[in-house]
Chain A
Amino acid sequence: MKKKTKLAILDYGVGNLYSITRAVANFCDDFIITDDPEVVARVDRLILPGVGSFAAGMAGIRVRSLVDSIKQFVQTGRPILGICLGAQLLMTRGFEFGNFTGLDIIPGEVVKLSGVGKGVKIPHIGWGQIKPSSSGKKGVLAGVSSGAYVYFVHSFIMQPKRQEDALTTTIYGESRFCSAIRHENVCGLQFHPEKSGAVGMQIINNFIKQT
């Protein structure tokens, strides 16, 4: 049964909203795609999608005067989900093509994926397994088994400052990196749940239903 909830998908000019919109529509009747701070202020849940560079993402948010509006949203304790670039932007700073300030909602940095070993390719494109931390099995990951496959497309990764903010890790080549972050009502996924088949749909449904 579809849940009626007021959910906003933030359109800040980077990346493609089609897939996430379709995925959300599967579970939710009442959602809107918006870049209006006033709308953001009123909804119950916020999704930050995004594909592209860190700098382009932050520029897109700033030019729409959304920085404060996102931060305020977080402060009210309402659930927010960042996906891929959207997750990375939650961090303090990012080092893609330079040194750029992020939203600084979860302390940490976005750095280049490295140490993957010889012959392992960057960008990381493909299915990887997520291993939740001990506290990680509730909330968005409810019903998702350890080792479930999700889809990644990225060259940069999140490095949260606080160990407990790392929600899942993933092995790629010789590297183990943080594939999802969480702090209270804020969650960020490096992978694309809207591209991860049934597992991804479970995650999205969990986010929509969570209180």
Chain B
Amino acid sequence: MDNIRIIPRLDIKGPNVVKGIFNEGLRIVGSPQELATRYYKAGADEIIYMDIVASLYQRNLDFELLKSVANHIFIPLTVGGGIRSIGDINNALRAGADKVAINTYAVKNPNFIKEAAQKFGSQCIVLSVEAKQKSVDLWEAYIDGGREKTGIDAVAWIKRAIKLGVGEVMVSSIDKDGLRGGFATELCQAVTAFASVPVIVHGGAGKLESVAEVLKLANPDAVAIASAFHYQDYSIKKLKNFLRSKEFPIRQ
């Protein structure tokens, strides 16, 4: 088993890191540069940086801001938010991204994934999925910052996107987002059960035990955490020590 990556996630709006609940709300929780640098120094394995309003406001992410964040961190940086063209991907990479996460545009134009993966390599293209539970074993994919239904089965969409060439999948639960009440473990299980590419799970990290639980039950390759870190429920170090004590392979 490879090392499970612990990845702080920064939701960006304008010049701020914000954090919502159920993908709603724009409460400011910090500065992007400050939080990214702090998490890098604290032992994060990667950083995820998502402009959560770019698709909603139909604008691009701020590449200058991204540069100022990327400047200080020397671990992998995944960047998403309003990525709609090969040019956007290029700009993100030039501004410091190592991987690019795409949701809204990929749902509307699945072949864009193929095009992007061929040009930049699969390992550079991450599928971001915001999923809401509809019924037992059925989740619907949402776009535009979790505000627009698509009628698309999230799990089926992920299968298709992997065939099209994404190198990694980040699956987020809208139902659990921001509550710090535990992950949507069934959703995570449904994805890790078949995914042939690494899976990052996100949405609901709460107590230390909740992270161990999703690792145990769903076996993802990485865990993205926002609220629990931003509100300082525990440090990265504390979480990593805890997980190691539970025998999970975690980088020191």
Given contacts A153-B76, A201-B74, 13 further A-B contacts (CB under 8 A): A18-B96, A19-B98, A22-B74, A51-B124, A121-B196, A125-B123, A126-B2, A126-B45, A128-B2, A155-B122, A192-B76, A196-B75, A197-B74
Given contacts A18-B95, A18-B96, A121-B198, contact A127 B121 (CB under 8 A): no
**Contact for A126 among B71, B74, B96, B221, CB less than 8 A:** B221
Interface residues of B in 8-57 (CB under 8 A from A): 40, 45
What string of 1s and 0s marks CB contacts (under 8 Å) between B136-174 and chain A?
000000000000000000000000000000011000000
Cα of A201 to Cα of B72 in the assembled complex, Å: 12
Q: Give, as a whole number of angstroms, the nearest-CB distance from A111 to chain B.
A: 17
A16 adjacent to B123 (CB under 8 Å): no
B residues at A contact (CB < 8 Å): 1-3, 5, 40, 45, 67, 70-71, 74-76, 93-98, 120-124, 167-168, 196-198, 221-222, 251-252
B98 adjacent to A22 (CB under 8 Å): no
Given contacts A126-B3, A194-B74, A195-B75, contact A18 B93 (CB under 8 A): yes
B5 adjacent to A126 (CB under 8 Å): yes
A173 contacts B by Cβ under 8 Å: yes
Centre residue among B2, B95, B96 by max chain A CB count within 10 A: B2
In the bound complex, residues from chain A placing their C-beta under 8 Å from that of B97 are: 16
**CB-CB nearest in chain B for A195:** B76
Q: Give, as a whole number of angstroms, the nearest-CB distance from A114 to chain B.
A: 14
A123 contacts B by Cβ under 8 Å: yes
**Contact for B252 among A121, A149, A154, CB less than 8 A:** A149
What string of 1s and 0s marks CB contacts (under 8 Å) between A1-44 and chain B?
00000000000000010110011000000000000000000000
Given contacts A125-B198, A172-B2, contact A196 B74 (CB under 8 A): yes
Interface size on A, residues (CB 8 A): 31
Cα of A151 to Cα of B73 in the assembled complex, Å: 14
B98 adjacent to A195 (CB under 8 Å): yes
Cα of A198 to Cα of B191 in the assembled complex, Å: 33
A200 adjacent to B74 (CB under 8 Å): yes
Cα of A155 to Cα of B122 in the assembled complex, Å: 10
B123 adjacent to A19 (CB under 8 Å): no
In the bound complex, residues from chain B placing their C-beta under 8 Å from that of A143 are: none
In the bound complex, residues from chain B placing their C-beta under 8 Å from that of A23 are: 74
A52 contacts B by Cβ under 8 Å: yes
B121 adjacent to A22 (CB under 8 Å): no
Centre residue among B93, B94, B196 by max chain A CB count within 10 A: B93
Cα of A80 to Cα of B68 in the assembled complex, Å: 29
The 18 sampled A-B contact pairs (Cβ below 8 Å) are A16-B98, A18-B67, A19-B74, A52-B120, A120-B1, A120-B2, A125-B198, A125-B221, A126-B2, A126-B5, A127-B2, A151-B75, A153-B98, A153-B123, A154-B123, A155-B123, A195-B98, A197-B74
A53 contacts B by Cβ under 8 Å: yes
Lowest 4 CB-CB distances: which A-B pairs, in order? A16-B93, A127-B251, A123-B123, A153-B123
B96 adjacent to A22 (CB under 8 Å): yes
Q: Give, as a whole number of angstroms, the nearest-CB distance from A175 to chain B.
A: 11
Q: Give, as a whole number of angstroms, the nearest-CB distance from A59 to chain B.
A: 14
**CB-CB nearest in chain B for A120:** B2
Cα of A173 to Cα of B120 in the assembled complex, Å: 26
In the bound complex, residues from chain A placing their C-beta under 8 Å from that of B167 are: 123, 125
A19 adjacent to B96 (CB under 8 Å): yes
Interface residues of A in 124-140 (CB under 8 A from B): 124-128
Centre residue among A19, A53, A149, A196 by max chain B CB count within 10 A: A19
In the bound complex, residues from chain B placing their C-beta under 8 Å from that of A120 are: 1-2
In the bound complex, residues from chain B placing their C-beta under 8 Å from that of A154 are: 123
Centre residue among A53, A123, A124 by max chain B CB count within 10 A: A123
